[in-house]
Amino acid sequence: MQDYVIAATQAQLDDQLAVTQELVALYPTVADAEAAGWRRVGPFTPGLGTHYLNIGGLQQVTGAVDREELLTPVLIYDGHEADAPLAGFMYLAGGTRTPPEGFAGPNDHWHYHENVCLIQRADGGLDTPFGADETEVNASMCADLGGRWAPVVQNMLHVWTVPGYEHPDNVFGDLNPTITCPDGTYHRLEWKDSGSRTTLCLES
């Protein structure tokens, strides 16, 4: 649940979140994102969707989030097919485990991941063969696959402001229950089994 904020702070937050609606108009589907340079990072996962990153256009959050940063997030889609719809956004803040000031108010609880192996695909995207936070995974295993080892991945924050995908409890929720597998369930493989899959849904 979100904490209470005073009216002035809420107004500032509302202004920040309103900027994300420009992205809804620009990148309504995966095809629109890919045409503009975004590429898939990891597989589709229920509750998390599929993340698309534009490495050349990403502006990481360094303090209080500004307009340029608001317009260059990781895009989250409800699927990985060309017509999959936009579902949300993820903002990144690099350089430290300490989260940035970020959005107005106390509800943007940033988080980071550890032990991530990133493998570059020919299309410019990235696979995450071992998922994240698996304690038995190490740099040597990643090197064996030709990957880049990240012991710590920078702070990140999900934002659920896309119409139809609003989070029922918290606009900054880590998981979004409206994003399910095609059969309407959340049944999924473990992150460590992701490999180069495009989806972690068990039915696929």
Would you say residue 123 lies in a domain?
A: no
Q: Please name the helix (run of DSSP H) or strand (run of DSSP E) that holds residue 151, with its range, or none.
A: strand 148-159
Would you say residue 89 lies in a domain?
A: yes
Would you say residue 164 lies in a domain?
A: yes
Q: Work out how many domains the chain is built from and give that number.
A: 1
Strand partners, 52: 40, 75
Would you say residue 80 lies in a domain?
A: yes
**Residue 190: per-residue pLDDT:** 84
Q: Which own/partner pairs from 56-61 qualify as long-range (CB within 8 Å, at least 24 positions apart)?
A: 58/92, 60/92, 60/93, 60/94, 60/95, 60/154, 61/91, 61/92, 61/93, 61/100, 61/102
Would you say residue 134 lies in a domain?
A: no
**Residue 2: per-residue pLDDT:** 55
Would you give per-residue pLDDT tens digits along the chain (204 residues)?
Answer: 556 678 899 999 999 999 999 999 999 999 999 999 999 999 999 999 999 999 888 889 999 999 999 999 999 999 999 999 999 999 999 766 789 999 999 999 999 999 999 999 999 999 999 999 999 999 999 999 999 999 988 899 999 999 999 998 899 999 999 999 999 999 999 877 888 999 999 875
| pTM of the full structure | 0.93
CB 52 within 8 A of CB 115: no
Would you say residue 120 lies in a domain?
A: no
**Residue 102: per-residue pLDDT:** 96
Would you say residue 181 lies in a domain?
A: no
Distance CA 54, CA 38 (A): 4
Would you say residue 51 lies in a domain?
A: yes
**Residue 98: per-residue pLDDT:** 84
Domain boundaries, position 94 = 7-114+153-175
**Residue 11: per-residue pLDDT:** 95
- The number of helices, as runs of H, and strands, as runs of E, in the chain is 4, 7
